[in-house]
Amino acid sequence: MSTSSPDGINAPPPPLSLLAELTHRCPLQCVYCSNPLELEKRGVELETADWQRVFEQAAALGILQVHFSGGEPMARPDLPVLVAHATRLGLYTNLITSGVMMDARSLDALAQAGLDHVQLSFQDVDVEAAERIGGLRGAQARKLEAARLLAAEGMPLTVNFVVHRQNHARVPEMLALGHRLGAGRVEIAHTQYHGWAFVNRAALLPDRAQFDAVTGAVRVGREQYLDSLTIDYVTPDYYADQPKPCMGGWAQRFLNVTPSGHALPCHAAESIPGMVFPSVRDSSLQEIWTSAPAFLRFRGTDWMPEPCRSCAMKEIDWGGCRCQALAITGDAAATDPVCARSPMHDRIAAILAERPAEAPATLHYRRYGSSVGREAELTTP
Ligand code: FES
């Protein structure tokens, strides 16, 4: 997994993608948001020039794609400037957005800046259910309007739905909506239980029959829309026996930069206590990628315990997910408990057994300065 540089030093291949989390600000308050429970405040966000420097270093490092993410990246007024800068550097630009801040003018500015692709998220097809999960009244109409504007612009579009026990039955309608909106790709992604989703797990975790029904609906949809829609399906780890190679392996394909400039090997890595993540304010992406201790900690296979170390899959799943190992076993260096060979695999069965038959009525909304346990009324725009 490493290459030899001219000076003989082993260097890892460059990451494929930079996830640029421009801000944690967001008008929505999704109960499965993967942002950390402690959201970064506006006052600590990187300035425009900082991000431009980061993109220059990304291009020099060999990164091909920049995903503008958040929070809601459209909350940054300098987004078109940043997209234009990345475009000039030859980077492929993808905007990951809720769409609720998009209008004809802001979309035009992004198109002029050279934006290549938009990934637009929906919480559901049912308006009331969608707005209950996202915590913002009026959001669905704005998203539909954003989709209409994107289609009129001819912008390549992926529509994303996060699925869980409260919307699992509506996957056929989700695929139909994506098709109607002119998306080239629809992503049906089961909730991954990090961040706020971990807090709201009882309200979100489907049972086995619900999971199987979603899988069946995706299978049918793939036949139905064979020639017109690519359907990506992200399965839930809790119903697997084999972990996914999270982020393509720790510090192997992705480099994440938080709003304040911390560089992470995955978006949830700051949940791991005791790790020090370097800042792009102090170090270049090259230095971070090749030698930051946090990036080396779980890269490759040397860190692995048994049974991973002697497993034939170790260079396929790369040990699964470190953040999940931490969340479920208390040890980020443990074998991912999703793996059937993990000595703690029974903890997954215990989580599934503890799942309440009725989803709890209380949802904990993602909010600034919130502490877990704070409930919220839907916000009226
Ligand atoms: Fe951090 Fe999987 S989310 S390694």
Has residue 167 got a pLDDT over 90?
Answer: yes
pLDDT at position 369, please?
Answer: 58
**Amino acid type, 146:** A
Of residues 307, 310, 335, 306, the one with CA closest to residue 320:
335
pLDDT at position 253, please?
Answer: 95
Bridge partners of 67, per DSSP, are 19, 94
Q: In the sheet where 17-21 sits, what is the strand order?
A: 230-234, 185-190, 157-163, 117-122, 92-97, 65-69, 17-21, 254-257, 263-264
> Which tens digits make up the pLDDT trace of 326-369?
999 999 999 999 999 999 999 999 999 999 999 998 899 988 65
342 contacts 334 by C-beta, under 8 angstroms: yes
CA 123–ligand 1 middle distance (angstroms): 23
Q: Which residues of 180-206 are buried (b: 16+ CB within 10 A; e: fewer)?
A: ebbbebbbbbbbbbbbbbbbbbebbbb
Bridge partners of 97, per DSSP, are 120
Mean pLDDT of 248-272: 95
CA 220–ligand 1 middle distance (angstroms): 30
> Which tens digits make up the pLDDT trace of 51-71?
999 999 999 999 999 999 999
pLDDT at position 379, please?
Answer: 54
pLDDT at position 151, please?
Answer: 97
Measured by CA distance, the residue closest to atom 2 of ligand 1 is 321
Has residue 299 got a pLDDT over 60?
Answer: yes
Has residue 170 got a pLDDT over 90?
Answer: yes
- Helix, coil or strand: residue 122: strand
268 lines ligand 1 (CB under 6 A): yes
136 contacts 378 by C-beta, under 8 angstroms: yes
Has residue 6 got a pLDDT over 60?
Answer: no
149 contacts 182 by C-beta, under 8 angstroms: no
264 lines ligand 1 (CB under 6 A): no
Distance, in Å, from the CA atom of 99 to the CA atom of 342, rounded to the nearest integer, reads 41
Q: Is the pTM of this model over 0.75?
A: yes
Q: Which residue has the tokens 């084999």?
A: 242
323 lines ligand 1 (CB under 6 A): yes
332 lines ligand 1 (CB under 6 A): no
CA 181–ligand 1 middle distance (angstroms): 32
- Tell me: cis bond preceding 71? Omega within 30 of 0 counts: yes
Of residues 258, 267, 377, 273, the one with CA closest to residue 321:
267
Local confidence band at 11 (pLDDT 50, 70, 90 cut-offs): low
pLDDT at position 367, please?
Answer: 81
Distance, in Å, from the CA atom of 22 to the CA atom of 70, rounded to the nearest integer, reads 6
Give the start-end residues of each E strand in the chain.
Answer: 3-4, 10-11, 17-21, 65-69, 92-97, 117-122, 157-163, 185-190, 230-234, 254-257, 263-264
pLDDT at position 3, please?
Answer: 46
DSSP secondary structure letter of residue 43: G
203 contacts 37 by C-beta, under 8 angstroms: no
Mean pLDDT of 306-316: 95
pLDDT at position 5, please?
Answer: 43
Q: What is the pLDDT of the chain when averaged over all its residues?
A: 93
Mean pLDDT of 206-227: 97
Has residue 370 got a pLDDT over 70?
Answer: no
Percent of the chain with pLDDT over 90: 87
CA 320–ligand 1 middle distance (angstroms): 8
Percent of the chain with pLDDT over 70: 93
- Tell me: cis bond preceding 6? Omega within 30 of 0 counts: no
269 lines ligand 1 (CB under 6 A): yes
CA 91–ligand 1 middle distance (angstroms): 25
Mean pLDDT of 84-94: 98
Record the tokens describing residue 134, joined without a space.
Answer: 């996202």
Bridge partners of 224, per DSSP, are none
Which of 321, 331, 338 best tests ligand 1's pocket when mutated (most atoms within 8 Å of CB)?
321
pLDDT at position 10, please?
Answer: 59
186 contacts 228 by C-beta, under 8 angstroms: no
Mean pLDDT of 151-168: 97
299 lines ligand 1 (CB under 6 A): no
CA 325–ligand 1 middle distance (angstroms): 9
pLDDT at position 38, please?
Answer: 87
Q: Which atom of ligand 1 has the smallest separation from the CA of 194?
A: 3
Q: Which residue has the tokens 């707005």?
A: 131
Has residue 4 got a pLDDT over 50?
Answer: no
- Helix, coil or strand: residue 11: strand
Has residue 217 got a pLDDT over 70?
Answer: yes
Mean pLDDT of 9-36: 90
Record the tokens describing residue 350, joined without a space.
Answer: 């215990």
